[in-house]
Chains A and B, each alone.
Chain A
C-alpha cells in the first residue's frame, strides 16, 4: 500500500505554487507593459497622438523616401517638436509658428513666407505636419537634384498657380522684397528691371515665363537658386545625440 503522504506529494505542487505559476505570465506581461509605457511616456508628444511602433516605422519610411538618414530624421523631429509647440502646442506647425521661426516674430505679413508655407503644406489643410516638413526640407538638401529645386522655385513664384510666372506676379514679388528691405524703387526703375528680366527669361516673349523657359533661365543663372540649398542639412546632428552614426 502506498503511504498517505505519497498521494499529497505526487501532485507535485501546492495550491500556492499553482497560483504563482499561473500568475507568472501575467506578471511578465504587466512588467513589459510598464516598460513600454515608460518608453512611450518618455516622449509625451506621442502618447496622445500615435503609438511607439508606428513612430519608429514612420521615421524609417521618411528616411527611405528622402536623402536623410534615420538619425537625421530624428534630429528633424526634435526641431519639428520645438517649432510646432512654439505658439500652439498641437504637434503641427501653423503659419505664425513658421513666421516666428524665420522672422523671430509671429506678427506681420510676408508674401514669401506665405508661399513657402503653402508649398510645405502638401495636403493643403492649413498646417504643416511632420511628414510634410521632412518632404519639403528634402528639396533643400545639397544632394537633391537641381530639377527638384527648379520645380520647387517655379511653384514658389507662380503666385496664382496658373502654371506660368506672369509679369504681374514678378512685379508683385519685387515690390514685396523692396518694401521688406526698405529700398525705394521708383516705378520707372521697377519697369526697367522687369523689362530686363523678361527680355532674358521670356524666350517666346508672351509676357509670362513657362516651366521650360524657367528651367533654361535658371541653368544660365544658377545663383538664382542659392536659397534653395541649405548646406547644414548635410550635417544634422542632435544635441547630445547618443548614438549618431558617423
Chain B
C-alpha cells in the first residue's frame, strides 16, 4: 500500500460524487508544488456546495457552551424536549450495542451506566456541577434537540471525557446516562464509581426519605 501512497494511486468507491473525487485528487497530489493549499481547500466546490461559507476546524453538529466558569444556569429541559420512552431505555442495553465486535478496547458494560431517579433534573445537575468543580473538570454543555447532555472533560487525567445525558422519562422520573467518551477505563472507573456515582445515588436516597 505504501507504494500506492507514494505514487498517488488510489481508487474511489462508487458512491463518491465526482466533486468529491476531484477534491481528493487535489489533496492527494504527490507533487507538493501543485498540491491544493489550505486557502484553495476552503474554496473547493465540494466543501462550499450548499452554501457552506466557513469550514471550522472541528465542526460540531450542535452548539457547545463552556459554562464551567460562569454560574450554573439551571434551565430545565424545555417543554418541547421529548421525554424518553420504554424503547429508549431498551436501546441502552449493552446486548444491543454491537460496536464491541469491532473495537477491542470498548467495553459497554464497564464504560456506560444508566440510572433512573425520581429527582428533579436541577438537583442532579447541581450535584454534577459540584463534582466537576471538586475534581477540576471542565463542564461543557451541549444543547441537543432531545434531552439535556453534557460532557465533563478532565484534561489532566489522561484526557478523560465523561458524557452525561439527562432525559425525562415520566412526570416523576428522570433517567441519567453516563458514558466514558474518552480516556482510559481505569481513571474513568475511579472517577465514576468511587466519586460521582455515590453522589448521584445519594440524591435518590434523600428524595426517597423526604417523599
By a CB distance below 8 angstroms, the chain B residues around A232 are 99, 102-103
Residue A134 interfacial (CB < 8 Å): no
In the complex, the answer to whether A174 meets B116 with C-beta atoms within 8 Å is no
Given contacts A79-B102, A230-B98, A243-B1, contact A223 B88 (CB under 8 A): yes
Complex interface residues of chain A between 26 and 46 (CB less than 8 A to chain B): none
Find the residue from A103, A178, A193, A243 having the highest chain B CB count within 10 A.
A193
Closest chain-A Cβ to B101's Cβ sits at a distance in Å of: 5
Chain A contact residue count (CB 8 A cutoff): 52
In the complex, the answer to whether B96 meets A227 with C-beta atoms within 8 Å is yes
Residue A113 interfacial (CB < 8 Å): yes
Given contacts A102-B100, A192-B172, contact A181 B10 (CB under 8 A): no
Q: Which of B12, B86, B99 is close to A197, meaning CB atoms less than 8 Å apart? A: B86
Which B residue's beta carbon lies closest to that of A171? Answer: B86
Instruction: Please report whether the interface of chain A is mostly helix, strand, loop or mixed according to DSSP.
Output: helix
Stretch at the interface among A2-10, A14-22, A52-60, A182-190: A182-190
Which B residue's beta carbon lies closest to that of A105? Answer: B109
Closest chain-B Cβ to A103's Cβ sits at a distance in Å of: 6
- Give the complex CA separation of A219 and B91 in angstroms: 16
In the complex, the answer to whether B93 meets A224 with C-beta atoms within 8 Å is no
Complex interface residues of chain B between 88 and 123 (CB less than 8 A to chain A): 88-103, 107-109, 113-116, 118
Binary contact readout B14-36 vs A (1 if CB under 8 angstroms, 0 otherwise): 01000000001000000000000
In the complex, the answer to whether A101 meets B101 with C-beta atoms within 8 Å is yes
In the complex, the answer to whether A174 meets B89 with C-beta atoms within 8 Å is yes
In the complex, the answer to whether B88 meets A224 with C-beta atoms within 8 Å is yes
Residue A177 interfacial (CB < 8 Å): yes
Q: Which of A110, A182, A192, A227 is close to B91, meaning CB atoms less than 8 Å apart? A: A227
Closest chain-B Cβ to A88's Cβ sits at a distance in Å of: 18
In the complex, the answer to whether B90 meets A157 with C-beta atoms within 8 Å is yes
Which B residue's beta carbon lies closest to that of A165? Answer: B87
Query: Could you list some 26 contacts between A and B, CB below 8 A?
Result: A83-B101, A102-B94, A102-B97, A103-B95, A103-B108, A104-B109, A110-B94, A112-B96, A113-B95, A116-B96, A140-B98, A170-B86, A170-B90, A173-B90, A177-B92, A189-B116, A189-B170, A189-B172, A193-B170, A196-B169, A196-B170, A197-B86, A223-B146, A224-B87, A230-B102, A241-B1
Which 4 pairs show the lowest CB-CB distances between chains A and B?
Answer: A112-B95, A246-B10, A197-B86, A197-B85
Q: Given known contacts A196-B169, A224-B87, what 10 new A-B pairs fall within 8 Å (CB)?
A: A103-B108, A110-B93, A112-B96, A157-B90, A177-B114, A181-B114, A185-B116, A192-B173, A224-B88, A246-B13
